[in-house]
Structure 1
């Protein structure tokens, strides 16, 4: 089957080595001379006599593949040099930038993203201030503040927000103080005016919580989406419905073909389809999955209406990936890009074999089985990657898809009609349909066992699962490969399991305004700290280290004095007693939490400390004072809010 796909999709032979060069780029020092040598070699073989050229033809193919690997490496280097630029402005320097993301609420107040005049992007945090809500996309912002690297909690197993921002070429952030910024409204672009017009119509005729979902469905505007609703859709595995994806573009494409069937000239019809498709893509923000669908549909449209021919879907998929990666090789790290291409590949590879398993005479049963096979095919091929990235699996994804996808399709077409007619009764009908869909999704999401979480697999596990899927497609011949992949997976994770049995760790978690410490020995963990600390943080970290709560044999606690194994920890969360100690208490770690009014030099009169730890329960200003004292006294310290969760072996 793989050979047949390669023959019908020549662009696969181009995009595979090209992607390899992007994923594993070679240093520029080696790429340029190697690429030059390969190019000379390829041209040299092409200039040889025909009989000799024919013999060396296979080698020319290998040389071309290697040249594509070098091209991928060169593009990565060029893009990184263009994008990866850090700024270091003077303390009194005023920066100017354009707001490129709507203002959203955050734990610090509000946040947005701006693009500086030199093209670098910054994450901006505002203090709670009603004036911030007047800032809109496209506006100018003048500000003065300390530019820092983007923070990362560092909690074991937690989502790496710093890496997520880096994949979007955002490396720095600014926490603005009150009065240190100025808002300059600017004229709106055509696309922004169109989007704001759509939002105004949706809010006027639908309104309420449903308006946020309607905006997400129609134009991918998720900033007004209710968090509880979003969580329900994530728990049921149908978040692709509220995130503009290829499904939405395919529905719009089908609607366009039906609406424009009266146009007699194919080229005019094709041109209109392409203009609308790309206009909608730009309107929705041009996410990776939408770009993939837009390029594929453009290729289909050109072939159908301009060239009067059809091409392989595999070839269209490979061509769209090649063009998008040429535009931005960093897209290969985008989760939406990965899941979008995997889902389409799964449908192409698995849908037909699944559909052929059952045959129904009834029209409605056939349609139901088509939708079922489609959902299973997409889920099966994305399952290993989702398990690796998110560590969870929605158990009821199939009924959720079967119920929500038809409803969302009806709602999407209804919203497109609402933009044209703007009728109150249509808005009321759409609001009722949205409420119905939300109720169904919420009910499914709250069923027992709806979301299986805490699943952790390694890269070896992902590779093994994909080999198993390929082996199933190969039939009986693939069973040996499946068994071999599962055995190798087990052997690959065995050293990790053995290491877990011997692990001895102390983890100081990073959660603002809270203190939390886990002591781990083997597969047992014991907690010390605030009971109100996030259970999600603890659950993720404990799943990462494969531990369960219990009582450690080598653990002793007397008030704020803790001894675990051969390490001592003292927690200071209040003022020190008056006077000086007759003898200093020796401790490996001293943890300052909840803003105690103490000075480092005073602590030295009571304790002999190996390392000071400042956790996230204290204010940044107090931590800055302690850091300055430690610098002056040349003491060892670690700031959890600045450096992330502290994980140490003992």
Structure 2
């Protein structure tokens, strides 16, 4: 056959094979492999975390079948046009494989699936043994640490067990260390749910870390029986961090300056006081109090400044990447391998490796790859608020900052840097806005102004903090750098407190439902997409999200206007009574609680925000204006008639004759005022034992009420009591 004919036939065959390529154009998602894989993995993880039906055996069989089908299609596509014909099928199979793998990983990672877990152990536990597996936090009167249970004693017999217990141990014994093996006399108790509506759910927070039990251990009720190292790397990391913490404690003596130094450089936040936290929250600068991606960028910049010359030698990119990764992970090692540090270092490690290999230019893919890795290691991170905020902020900066930065141009170096810093802060805050309102119910108005000062100062503190650790053994250098570090932190704290004093520095009162959170997030996403691509359907979806938000807000406003509610909150050691009518409320409580803003904020404020309360009136039980409310005060007790019901609040012990003459719908016992229920049956419709009573007395009254047939609500076990129409 002449050469021209062979060439013509070959070209015809090549065109025939490429027909499938032309028929199926490449997807816009094709370059973002890890973005797609992350979405698939997240779907599988979310399925299990949401408690939807999941069968391990069926999942394993399905996973094996899908993998087999994937391999078969791959072999088949070798015969047909490079696999483009089966692009949709491959995508569907990849979704099934990765989603099922994510669901299976989540199920496997769930400690409660172990039959030996404490949640499944019958009988009353009297003793347990275990190992300290977390850093030991020294509180004023107790040690706080996680203990991995090894054995429990039930009915005089030891048996194997599993699970983690958050232990609070009396400090009068010898100091505890990571790896200590304990014998504890006591029983792990399930972590209780929130005692009040709207209160922070500590039980759900601990469950993310697979902790479902807690135990308060008195002096003499535990002993250290040995010592081991569950994780030698983590143990060494804690020793290094303890050394670094000692350096800061020595050279930065002021308590608040020391707290910022250890928080910003080492990621230790346990020593921050409430006033300091409030000031930084008002300034929108809480992100500087924990090691984050921005801190790792600064560390990498220092590494580049010192070792960037390595890139000029043969294989310099790989050598620089290896040294950079070693130093970044050493920094993570110094910080105790805390969760926020690991997130940042893992994310940046992918960036460094990709840059060294020259294989990846998509920031989205690199960020998705790091999230994919972390979720594969611990699927429960998907519920972690810090994990969510970290990645959403990074995505906001990557997507929004270049667009915002392009709005204005400055010739000067300093104005350009200020504008770049401002657009970075704005992009991050806009991205995390739904999460901030949903989780924290507040928004800092002056975050742009504050961060113009906070970011440069926090960067300087990180430089100085690392320098202090490096030169601390050098005479005169350590004290000099420590003095400079302390003064820089003083300026940072002063800027935060100054911002806090500005009017409306922190706007609170946002109480988003899950549906409102989703609608607000959808509005932001589709609004930004429309601004870039101008597709009508994007505008339609965004408009629908806005309509949902407006409807939900109107429905909530109507509900709040007509609400009538009485709540007796559970705040340990205090008595309360809260009356809500419409958007006004009167909060009656002990004077010590009225003066304690932190307790009110933690236990009660979210509930008031959730009910749209805008007008607040505080009063002591003896000070309520009887003209404003149907209160009557007597020696030792108060009466309230509300919505046709009689409430008697017993403040001090009364005589038997008084009890015999009592007629009330609800008797509220406060401050150990009632010790026996003799003759109370038929005189009180319900008994409420509030949180100001001693535990043993409440238990006794609850048992007596049950025996007498009196409906009883004991706040130590049942939480707040709420009555509403």
TM over 0.5: yes
Q: Does 1:61 align with 2:81?
A: no
Residue 435 (structure 1) shift: 1.1
1:440 aligns with 2:440: no
Answer yes or no: is the 8 Å Cα contact 2:573–2:691 preserved in 1: yes
Residue aligned with 2:45, SS: helix
The offset of 1:96, in angstroms, is: 3.3
Q: Secondary structure at the match of 2:351?
A: helix
Return the alpha-carbon distance in structure 2 between the equivalents of residues 630 and 35 of structure 1. 56
Task: Confirm whether residue 557 of structure 1 aligns to residue 603 of structure 2.
Answer: no
Match of 1:397 in 2: 447
| Residues 416-470 of structure 1 deviation map (CA, whole Å, 9 limit, x = unaligned) | 1111212211111111111111111111122221111111222333233333333
Tell me the CA shift for residue 582 of structure 1: 6.1
Find the aligned partners of 1:145 and 1:630 in 2 and give their Cα distance.
28
- 8 A contact 1:576–1:598 mirrored in 2: no
| Contact 1:525/1:552 (<8 A) preserved | no
Name the residue aligned to 2:516: 461
Would you say the 8 A contact 1:103–1:136 is kept in 2? no
Contact 2:111 2:210 in 1 (8 A): no
- The 8 Å contact of residues 672 and 694 in structure 2, kept in 1 or not, is answered as yes
Q: What does the per-residue CA deviation read over 1:326-358, in whole Å, with 9 as the maximum and x for residues that have no partner? A: 111000000110000001000011001100000
Aligned-pair CA distance for 1:145: 1.8
Structure 1 residue ranges without an equivalent (≥5): none
1:291 partnered with 2:342: yes
What does residue 593 of structure 1 align with?
A: 670
Counterpart Cα distance in 2 of 1:116 and 1:200 = 31
Offset at residue 38 of structure 1 (A): 4.1
RMSD between aligned residues:
3.0
2:530 aligned with 1:474: yes
Q: Which residue of 2 aligns with 1:303?
A: 354
Q: 2:417 aligns with which of 367, 385, 388?
A: 367
| Cα deviation digits, residues 381-418 of structure 1 (max 9, x gap) | 01111111100001111122111111111121112111
Match of 1:86 among 118, 143, 156: 118
Aligned to 1:112: 145
Q: Residue 193 of structure 1 corresponds to which residue in structure 2?
A: 239
Task: Write the distance in 2 (CA, Å) between the matches of 1:74 and 1:618.
Answer: 47
Residue 38 of structure 2 corresponds to 15
**Matched-pair contact (CA < 8 Å) for 2:173–2:220:** no
Which position in structure 2 is the counterpart of 1:358? 408
Determine which of 579, 604, 607 is the counterpart of 2:683.
607
Once the two structures are overlaid, the 10-residue window that deviates more, 355-364 or 94-103, is 94-103
Name the CA distance, whole Å, in 2 between partners of 1:83 and 1:167: 15
Contact 1:97 1:142 in 2 (8 A): no
SS at match of 1:8: coil
Structure 1 residues 581 and 412: CA distance shift in structure 2, 3 A: closer
Deviation at 1:324, TM superposition (A): 0.6
Say which SS state the counterpart of residue 600 (structure 1) adopts.
Answer: coil
CA contact (8 A) 1:22 1:73 kept: yes
CA distance in 1, matches of 2:142, 2:705: 30
- How far apart, CA to CA, are the structure 2 residues paired with 1:245 and 1:489? 32
Kept in 1: contact 2:570–2:719 (CA 8 A) = yes
Q: Secondary structure at the match of 1:114?
A: strand
Tell me if structure 2 keeps the 8 A contact 1:524–1:552: no
Alignment of 1:215-294 (within 5 A): 215-263=262-310, 264=313, 265-266=315-316, 267-294=318-345
Alpha-carbon contact 1:98-1:116 (below 8 Å) kept: no
After alignment, is 533-542 or 638-647 more displaced? 533-542
Change (3 A) 1:418 1:8: same
Query: 1:289-344 CA deviation, whole Å, 9 max, x = no partner?
Result: 43332223222222333x24443111111111111111110000001100000010
1:163 maps to 2:204: yes
Give how far 1:583 is off: 6.0
- 1:119-164 per-residue CA deviation (whole Å, 9 max, x = no partner) reads 622122345x5547x3344434332123212234432222111111
CA distance 1:598–1:184, shift in 2 (3 Å): same
TM value normalised by structure 2: 0.81
User: How many Å apart are 1:201 and its aligned residue?
Assistant: 1.5
Q: String of CA shifts for 1:78-126, please: whole Å, max 9, x gaps.
A: 11146773355745324333162333437x8553333334662212234
Per-residue deviation, 1:220: 0.9
Structure-to-structure mapping, 1:29-48, within 5 angstroms: 29=55, 31-32=59-60, 34-35=62-63, 38-39=66-67, 41-43=69-71, 45-46=73-74
The alpha-carbon distance between structure 1 residues 582 and 312, as it changes in their structure 2 partners (threshold 3 A), is closer
Match of 1:338 among 370, 388, 392: 388
Partner SS state of residue 93, structure 1: strand
Matches within 5 A, 1:431-580: 431-470=486-525, 471-475=527-531, 476-477=534-535, 478-533=538-593, 534-536=599-601, 537-547=603-613, 548-549=615-616, 556-559=630-633, 560-579=638-657
Candidates 101, 104, 109, aligned match of 2:135: 101
Calculate the TM-score normalised by the size of structure 1: 0.90
Where does residue 27 of structure 1 map in the other structure?
Answer: 53
In structure 2, list runs of 5 or more residues that go unmatched.
1-25, 151-160, 230-234, 594-598, 618-624
Aligned partners of 1:354 and 1:397: how far apart in 2?
A: 16
Shift of 1:598: 2.0
Verify the 8 A CA contact 2:660 2:679 in the aligned structure 1.
Answer: no
Counterparts of 2:80 and 2:319, CA distance in 1 = 49
C-alpha distance in 1, partners of 2:608/2:501? 24
- Asked whether the equivalents of residues 198 and 604 of structure 2 are also in contact (C-alpha less than 8 Å), the reply is no
| Distance (Å, rounded) in 1 between the aligned partners of 2:65 and 2:558 | 47
Deviating more after overlay: 95-104 vs 69-78: 95-104
Aligned to 2:620: none
Question: Are the aligned partners of 1:288 and 1:331 in contact in 2 as well (CA < 8 Å)?
Answer: no
Paired residue for 1:172, among 213, 219, 224?
213
> Deviation at 1:360?
0.7
Q: Provide the rounded CA distance (Å) in 2 between the counterparts of 1:554 and 1:193.
A: 61
- Pair 22,99 (structure 1): closer, same or farther in 2 beyond 3 Å: closer
Distance 2:562 2:431 in 1: 36
- Tell me the matched-pair count: 641
8 A Cα contact 1:385 1:462, kept in partner: yes
- 1:514 CA drift (Å): 0.9
